[in-house]
Amino acid sequence: MSWASDTFSPPPTGHALTFRGSVISTLDNIYTKILTPTWLISLSSVLPVPYISRKLRETETAFAELRSHIVELVSYMRADVASGKKSEDTGLKAALLRNLVEANMTQDDDYKSLTDDELLSNIFVRFLDFVCLLSLTNKIDVPSCGTR
């Protein structure tokens, strides 16, 4: 999963969007996701409304795809942590991701230090922060992250 390598490549097997495509579409549709009640999303799939139904479907697809890509990334990191591999050995330089996954895998008494939902939420927020920072510093072009 690479930002640069999937610019023109088709989505991986089992995905509707590439990693890059899911990030850009998520950022483009983030306000739609925040401002749309769940009941309207359900209703628009049953009772199509010309522009709204397409926009809501696009939004739901973007967020589901990004979640799927993040879950895959977490599963790769969990495998590395479980096998005792260091980040340097795998070529993956993601200390923050590794620390979050390790916190998720650590169990104190009857509960995890970081639940699965908390893990995904943390990764999502940190990742979007990073993408917007890159956009604002002219490293990548993501219009949704603001003006430069």
> Angle of helix 38-46 relative to helix 50-83, nearest 10 degrees?
120
> pLDDT, tens digit, for every residue of 6-57?
567 788 888 889 888 888 889 889 999 999 999 998 899 899 888 899 999 9
pLDDT of residue 139: 62
> What kind and span of H or E run contains 90?
helix 87-90
> pLDDT, tens digit, for every residue of 48-71?
888 899 999 999 999 999 999 988
pTM: 0.76
pLDDT of residue 29: 92
CA distance 93 to 96: 9
pLDDT of residue 95: 77
φ, ψ of residue 64 to 5 degrees: the values are -65, -40
> pLDDT, tens digit, for every residue of 75-130?
888 888 888 876 666 555 677 788 888 888 877 766 667 778 888 888 888 877 87
Residue 45, Cα to own-chain centre: how many angstroms?
A: 23
CA distance 111 to 17: 34
